[in-house]
A and B are shown apart, each in its own frame.
Chain A
Amino acid sequence: QKEVEQNSGPLSVPEGAIASLNCTYSDRGSQSFFWYRQYSGKSPELIMSIYSNGDKEDGRFTAQLNKASQYVSLLIRDSQPSDSATYLCAVNPRHAGGTSYGKLTFGQGTILTVHP
């Protein structure tokens, strides 16, 4: 089992729709979760971080975390063509009080295409 798994995609949604991206992780003790966006030929950039169970909203983006089920998701509302990119889920597998700060494990990414 991979440490971080994402739905393989590619995912295609019409402009204005909600895009739902999912990620599961294997280390139950993980504490920190991140969503990065990577445009083709560019470097990853952070969209959202989430540390506690529940939802975290930032503009059109909502991250959802369920530690009991070991999944984290990203919802993009009112999807725009400019949202077309690869979305990378990243997990810091450190446990509470651990010292592996910043040691992120990335999923393979989900390619999202928003068509007009």
Chain B
Amino acid sequence: DAGVIQSPRHEVTEMGQEVTLRCKPISGHDYLFWYRQTMMRGLELLIYFNNNVPIDDSGMPEDRFSAKMPNASFSTLKIQPSEPRDSAVYFCASSLAGTGDETQYFGPGTRLLVL
């Protein structure tokens, strides 16, 4: 299996621009998670989906952030407009419920720099 795939791996943009991060979970996994990691705040859960349905978006920082999961193999996290404080590493992770194993498998991350 290819694991969780994220794109782009690096993104540099200017303040005010729209940023779209993409994630392909491990095939067959029914949970998908979006995290943000910074030195100051550590690893934070932003939102997660179960069977393509958003379950908990309480970690989304503000209305500038939105996430979608149109099908089982694709999700996006969009920031519009972007701000310098959004600079962070964004991770996508997936897992499979019902097996007694709650392991979350993380993608390689997208390193976002907003100038």
Residues of chain A having any CB pair with chain B under 8 Å: 32, 34, 42-46, 49, 88, 92, 100-109
Contact = CB atoms under 8 A, between A and B. Distances in A.
Given A46-B103, A46-B104, A101-B31, A106 B109 contact: no
A96 B95 CA distance: 20
Contacts of A103: 45, 48, 56
Contacts of B103: 46, 49
Q: Which of B43, B105, B108 has the most CB of A within 10 A?
A: B43
Interface in B5-37: 31, 33
A109 B42 contact: yes
B63 interface: no
B115 interface: no
Q: List the 4 closest A-B pairs by CB distance, nearest first.
A: A43-B106, A106-B43, A108-B42, A46-B103
Interface of B: 31, 33, 42-45, 48, 50, 56, 91, 95, 97, 101-109
Contacts of A44: 43, 91, 106
Q: Which of A42, A88, A103 has the most CB of B within 10 A?
A: A103
Nearest to A2: B42
A102 B43 contact: no
A105 B45 contact: yes
5 contacts: A46-B103, A100-B56, A101-B50, A102-B48, A109-B43
Contacts of B104: 46, 102, 104
